[in-house]
A and B are shown apart, each in its own frame.
Chain A
Amino acid sequence: MMAQEVLLDCLGEACPVPLVKTEKKLTTLAVGDILVVQIDHSCAMKNIPEWARKEGHNVEIEEVDDGEWEVIIEKVK
């Protein structure tokens, strides 16, 4: 089965909503799937990657526009 790539729109959401949504969404995905979280909250750009790394996932963050980021999480467990 091909790994899924899921987009999660958290633009305009304030903490902790993006993080809680990411946490919930990730539990519905399978190992190997990729979750792309779109955020524009500068705090979430720090706490989502930090949380996901501590959970052991592969994480990358990309600034896609002024004050807009995509956190790319590969579920590894």
Chain B
Amino acid sequence: MSEVNVTPSPASRISTGRRTGTRRKPKKNQIPYGIALFVGMLAFGIYLTAVSARLGIFWLIGCCFGFILQKSRFCFTASLRDPALTGSTSLSRAVLIAFAVTSIAFTAVKYGAHIGGLPIPGQGSVAPISLATAVGAFLFGIGMVIAGGCASGTLMRVGEGFGMQFLSLFFFIVGSLLGAHNFGWWKITFIDKGPRIFLPDIFGWVGAVAAQLLVIALLYVLADKWENKKLG
């Protein structure tokens, strides 16, 4: 299934007249602009670091995330959309790999703090589970598919020069503001009543990682089988 038949090349079969006609103008070299931008970004990073180290670090990390997202065309939206829409699960499986690797590393960091008697970092991400989680995720799921990108994806595509994503970023911000406006009601009615469930509290540290990796592995196998069934 994986080997690609390369002969005869589809491109070679296309009439040359149309092919030369497509190249409207000679390609420009954008690399110098890239290098100039890199210098500018570096200078801005140095300026921010002078204001506060924290700002500089966040800027640096953000730039790395943006670069990685764009270079690998990583897309959380596609990972959830494509299995049903086209049957492709290659991004879904990549997201599962990210989940697995980050889970192991996060647990190591958290466990290290725990046995060292320090406060466990990042426990704010252990969020309360309530109807608000379900409603919020459901609305978000609809929105990201229609807009063609989630929060990180939209920011990344703004950087790529996608006009449509400028607009969806603006309305993402407007929607956030509306959500923040109603937040008190959601919080008191649902969120405050929801339990925060941290897996190590149930299964112990080792058991939690093992259970999580098992679920991720099962989903990975399922995704692979699904793709083989739907494609090829």
Interface of A with B (CB < 8 Å)? Answer: 3, 5, 14-17, 19-20, 23, 34, 36, 41-43, 46-47, 50-51, 53-56, 58-60, 62-67, 70, 72-74, 76
- Chain B's interface size range is 35 or more
Asked if B45 is an interface residue, CB under 8 A from chain A, the answer is no
Q: Are A54 and B232 in contact (CB under 8 A)?
A: yes
Chain B residues near A14 (CB-CB < 8 A)? 148-149, 157, 162, 164-165
Known: A15-B148, A58-B6, A64-B22. A51 touches B14 (CB 8 A): no
Provide the main secondary structure of the chain B interface. Answer: loop
| Cβ-defined partner of A16 (8 Å) among B14, B15, B81 | B81
> With A5-B14, A14-B162, A36-B14 in contact, do A58 and B4 touch (Cβ < 8 Å)?
yes
22 contacts between A and B (CB under 8 A): A14-B149, A14-B157, A15-B78, A16-B81, A19-B85, A23-B86, A34-B10, A34-B13, A36-B14, A43-B75, A43-B78, A47-B78, A51-B88, A54-B231, A55-B232, A56-B1, A58-B4, A58-B8, A62-B11, A65-B24, A65-B27, A76-B5
How many Å from the CB of B28 to the closest CB on chain A? Answer: 6
A contact residues around B14 at 8 Å (CB): 5, 34, 36, 72
Q: Is B30 an interface residue (CB 8 A)?
A: yes
